[in-house]
Amino acid sequence: MRPRLSFEWLHACSGCEIALLNSGELLLDLLDRVEIVHFPLLMDHKYTSRAGGEGEVHLPEAEIGLVSGGVASEEHQAVLRAMRASCRTLVSLGTCATHGGIPALRNQWPIAAALKTVFAGSEGGTAIPDTILAPLDRVYSIDEQVAVDVSLPGCPPRSESIIEMIAALLAGEPFHLPCKSVCETCPTIRTGKGQQKVRRFLANAEYDPEKTVAEMRCLLEQGLLCMGPVTAGGCGGKDAPLCIRARVPCRGCFGPVRQGGNQLLDMLNALASNGMGHRDIVDRRSLLRFSGAHGLLKPLRERK
């Protein structure tokens, strides 16, 4: 029997699933080796039989389960628990699953405030369908809710990394990402002497477009807030990080370099050690824009 794979998405955008599909030939090889038993984007396995009651989620057993997205509602919790119960190895796929991701920016507001804003301005008054949504108080990462065996961050993760991880798990081998920062994988020129002020990205970086990324000055040294020092590397594989290839500074989408890291505190330290002030940063808490789960982003009112 082929090894069984099960996929779920919770508070997610489907970018992780699209990253898997972007692997092309590698995807075709994978499909040849495994049986996919549950994958709402691609196949018709349902949570319950049509006569089934509410609340019960039945999922088929699988050797490997991959879950993208964070946990933001009671339904997400139910689906996640069913995945944990039915999968021998559970993978948190993508930064929303591992660190909350962009949707965890919601954690800066109480849930009632977010509901009021989103449903404002409607012609029918301010009826809020909150019974349907059953939102949790905040957005959680997967590991805050259930035990996770393997974490693969990235917004989205690199296509090849997803395939490599699945292949390693199928072969019974451990899978570890190299513990390198974006900076350690970035070929730009660093001199150690850069701008002392951080500027907003309102004009392009200075570089010669006919020359390679390796011939461009480090964006942080150019005064652009680049989160390379405090962000897990690997987005570009063996080549330059993806945003840097677009000549755009890193915003931290792979989460902290080490699982328990705090991108905000780490970045303020990195700026200090580069002799750069942090007072010019508008909206400092945005430094946690990909890693606001684990209680790192909280409503402002609680921060007196």
Partner 1 sequence: MNQVISIHPVTRIEGHARIDIHLDESGQVCDARVGIAALRGFEQFVVGRPAEEIPRIVNRICGICPWMHHLAAVKAIDGCFGVRPAPAGHLLRELCQVLAHIHDKILHFFFLAAPDFVLGPGGDYAVRNIMGLVRQEPELAAQVVRMRQLAQMMLERFAGKAIHPVAGVAGGFAKPMREEERQGLLADSRVLLDFASYALDYAKNKVFSRFCDALQSLGTITTGFLGTVGHQGALRLYDGSLRLMHPDGTTVDFPANEYERYLAEQVEPWSSAKMVYARSWGEGFSLDPDAPRGVYRVNTLARINVCDRIATPRAQAELEEFRGRFGRPAQGTLLYHWARLIELVYACERTLELLADERITDPAVRVPATPRAGRGIGHVEAPRGTLIHDYSTDDNGCITRANLIVGTTHNIAPMNLSVRQAAASLISAGAVDDEMLNRIEMAVRAYDP
- Contacting partner 1 within 120-139 (CB under 8 A): 121-129, 132-133, 135
Using the contact rule CB under 8 A, the part of the chain among 80-88, 179-187, 198-206, 262-270 near partner 1 is 198-206
Choose which of 1, 147, 171, 202 interacts with partner 1 (CB under 8 A).
202
Q: Does 108 bind partner 1 (CB under 8 A)?
A: yes
Q: Does 72 bind partner 1 (CB under 8 A)?
A: yes
Binders of partner 1 among residues 42 to 71 (CB under 8 A) are 42-48, 50, 52
Question: E strands, 94-167, where?
Answer: 135-140, 150-152
DSSP three-state, residue 138: strand
**Closer residue to partner 1, CB minimum distance, 149 or 242:** 242
Phi and psi of 225, rounded to 5°? -70, 105
Under rule CB under 8 A, how many of the chain's residues touch partner 1? 81
Task: Answer yes or no: are the C-beta atoms of 107 and 292 closer than 8 Å.
Answer: yes
Q: Does 31 bind partner 1 (CB under 8 A)?
A: yes
Q: Does 248 bind partner 1 (CB under 8 A)?
A: yes
How many Å apart are CA 5 and CA 35, to the nearest integer? 6
How many Å apart are CA 112 and CA 118, to the nearest integer? 10
Query: For residue 156, is the peptide bond before it cis, meaning its omega torsion is within 30 degrees of 0?
Result: yes
**Closer residue to partner 1, CB minimum distance, 169 or 226:** 226
Choose which of 33, 200, 258, 284 interacts with partner 1 (CB under 8 A).
200
Least CB distance from residue 124 to partner 1, whole Å?
5
Query: Which tokens go with 100?
Result: 């909350």
Q: Does 7 bind partner 1 (CB under 8 A)?
A: no
Phi and psi of 248, rounded to 5°? -125, 140
Q: Does 151 bind partner 1 (CB under 8 A)?
A: no
Query: Which tokens go with 239?
Result: 């080549």
Choose which of 153, 156, 233, 256 interacts with partner 1 (CB under 8 A).
156
**Closer residue to partner 1, CB minimum distance, 199 or 258:** 199
Strand-by-strand arrangement of the 150-152 sheet: 35-38, 4-9, 62-68, 87-93, 150-152
**Closer residue to partner 1, CB minimum distance, 178 or 209:** 209
Which residue is it, tokens 């002020």? 197
Least CB distance from residue 194 to partner 1, whole Å?
20
Least CB distance from residue 17 to partner 1, whole Å?
7
Task: Answer yes or no: are the C-beta atoms of 250 and 228 closer than 8 Å.
Answer: yes
**Closer residue to partner 1, CB minimum distance, 1 or 147:** 1
Task: Answer yes or no: are the C-beta atoms of 235 and 253 closer than 8 Å.
Answer: yes
- Cβ contacts of 191 within 8 Å, gap of 6 or more: 217, 218, 221
**Closer residue to partner 1, CB minimum distance, 6 or 23:** 23
Q: Does 173 bind partner 1 (CB under 8 A)?
A: no
